[in-house]
Amino acid sequence: MHDLTPITAFGLAEPTVFVTQSCQLAERPRIALASVAARLGVDEACRAVITDLLRADAPDPAAWLASDIYSAFWMGPDQWMFSADFPDVEDIVARLKTSFGETASITEQTDGWVSFDLTGEVEAVLELVCSVDMRTRSAGYASRVSIHHTGCFLLIEASDRVRVYAPRASAGSVFHGISQAMTSAAAR
């Protein structure tokens, strides 16, 4: 029997957290991710499966939504990223392949990305690190953005709460970029 200890994207046992007076940036481990790409000619059938899983229409461009088990955001034409929490849906790919069958190609993305929750006065931070203007966007918005020269996904959950998915291999760089912006924003 293996006795393995899961580690975070920073190689630690506990999630990394950075706090300023106005914001908190918290690593959020234990999230299962898988990308779903509709196959050519059966995109309507694929969307029907998504509707079943999310109990809502597939997310539109630049949007995300959550149901009781899965969350999903739009990544590109006929492509979505699905997420779910450990430990219930740790085998997300097997589950989605069963659901989607031949209508979509499913690719494991768990641990390809690190997840950060930025909470508090996020407007002042985001305007320093990426092109998304929180004043013109609302909850439900999802977009790929460049943060600290790194391609990330940004999901707006509320006016004071966003989720960032950054490439796991660049977790330190993105965390550094956002935490520095938080320090600058708090010093204003």
Interface pick for other proteins out of 112, 145, 168, 173 (rule CB under 8 A): 145
Where helices occur in the chain by DSSP H, the ranges are: 43-54, 92-100, 122-129, 171-186
Burial class (CB in 10 A: 0-12, 13-18, 19+), 127: middle
User: Which CB atom, from 101 or from 151, has the smaller least distance to other proteins?
Assistant: 151
User: Which CB atom, from 18 or from 80, has the smaller least distance to other proteins?
Assistant: 80
User: Which CB atom, from 70 or from 141, has the smaller least distance to other proteins?
Assistant: 141
Q: How far apart are CA 150 and CA 163, in angstroms?
A: 15
**Residues of this chain, 17-56, that bind other proteins according to CB under 8 A:** none
The residue with tokens 């955001």 is: 73
User: Which CB atom, from 50 or from 75, has the smaller least distance to other proteins?
Assistant: 75
Q: Is 71 in the site for other proteins (CB under 8 A)?
A: no
Q: Which amino acid is at 15?
A: P
**3-class secondary-structure state, position 2:** coil
Q: Is 75 in the site for other proteins (CB under 8 A)?
A: yes
Binding segment for other proteins (CB under 8 A), chosen from 45-53, 111-119, 142-150, 163-171, is 142-150
Q: How many residues bind other proteins (CB under 8 A)?
A: 12
Smallest distance, other proteins to C-beta of residue 175, A: 20
User: Which CB atom, from 149 or from 188, has the smaller least distance to other proteins?
Assistant: 149
- What are the distances in angstroms from CA 102 to CA 46, 80, 105? 9, 16, 7
Return all residues near 184 (Cβ < 8 A) that are at least 6 apart. Answer: 128
Q: How far apart are CA 66 and CA 84, in angstroms?
A: 9
Residue among 72, 47, 44, 70 nearest 57 (CA): 47
User: Which CB atom, from 74 or from 116, has the smaller least distance to other proteins?
Assistant: 74
Q: Is 131 in the site for other proteins (CB under 8 A)?
A: yes
Smallest distance, other proteins to C-beta of residue 76, A: 4
Interface pick for other proteins out of 51, 94, 146, 176 (rule CB under 8 A): 146
Binding site for other proteins (CB under 8 A): 61-62, 74-77, 131, 143-146, 151
